[in-house]
Amino acid sequence: MEIEAFAPAKINLTLHVTGRRDDGYHLLDSLVVFADMGDQLTFEPGPALSMDVRGEFANGVPTDDRNLVWKAAEGIGWTGHIELSKSLPHGAGIGGGSSDAATTLRTLAEQGFDVPPNLPLSLGADVPVCQAGRAIRMQGIGDRLVDVNLPHLPALLVNPNIPVPTGAVFNALASRDNPPMPECIPEFESAYDCAQWLREQRNDLEQPAMAVAPEIEQVLDELSTTNRALVARMSGSGSTCFALYPTMKDAHFAAYEIGAAHSGWWCRATQLN
């Protein structure tokens, strides 16, 4: 019997780089939310592991043990055929591969398979938070997760269709010891309140990412000037940027505005939570 699952896009509303361990892992303090859009997976049990990838961003995605979805299924001993429909761009800072792997773990765990405790983090720092799939403060190397209550956040995601390698961005980071977020994250009554607080926070990878992909600065400028934009920032290590709005109508209007001006950009209005 086929099992269908949804892998939402992950958005870093903040990303503070607070240190680096001796083993090279960076320490982070990040407020993470998830979109109501993402990739789709279908699982069909069988005697051997196999995989197909289709969809808008299927090109270049491996269908063997190089894929995190394959690694996740193999790591818990599941066999069968997996079909992955890729709607999220690659190298985009929105956790496409990590969310796909996390959704694989979560879906197969619901079918009775045991997930080894160390497996999620071994697949990537974003996999544990993507397993949760809800608003969370992520700290450490991605291993410390605390639930956060946030209002629904109307948003526009924009990517200039330029993949950004995470390693290159971290290599361009000037300072690896930066202040964390405040100890307590307030309760927000509205998207406006949340955006006002976010203005005082950071994504420490934004500047180094611009050095790798200067187009990110143009995307942020365009988002900042859309009507009723509350705050604009880059997600993760780039190259996707987001803006928050008071309503979904505002987000859709901004999507139309930017999409008309930049037909080559990936542009999606969504709700974050």
Please identify which of the residues 10, 39, 71, 250 carries the catalytic annotation. 10
**Distant-in-sequence, close-in-space partners of 204: CB < 8 Å, separation ≥ 6:** 15, 16, 17, 173, 175, 178
Active site residue 10: yes
Radius of gyration, CA atoms only, the chain: 18
Rounded distance between C-alpha atoms, residue 22 and residue 26, angstroms: 9
- Closest C-alpha to 1, from 120, 81, 70: 81
Judged by DSSP in three states, 222 sits in helix
Please identify which of the residues 39, 126, 204, 250 carries the catalytic annotation. 126
Could you tell me the CA-to-CA distances from 109 to 97, 120, 137, 252 in Å, in that order?
Answer: 18, 12, 23, 36
Active site residue 126: yes
Q: Which two tokens stand for residue 226?
A: 């859309």
Task: Report the amino acid identity of residue 228.
Answer: R
Catalytic residue numbers read: 10, 126
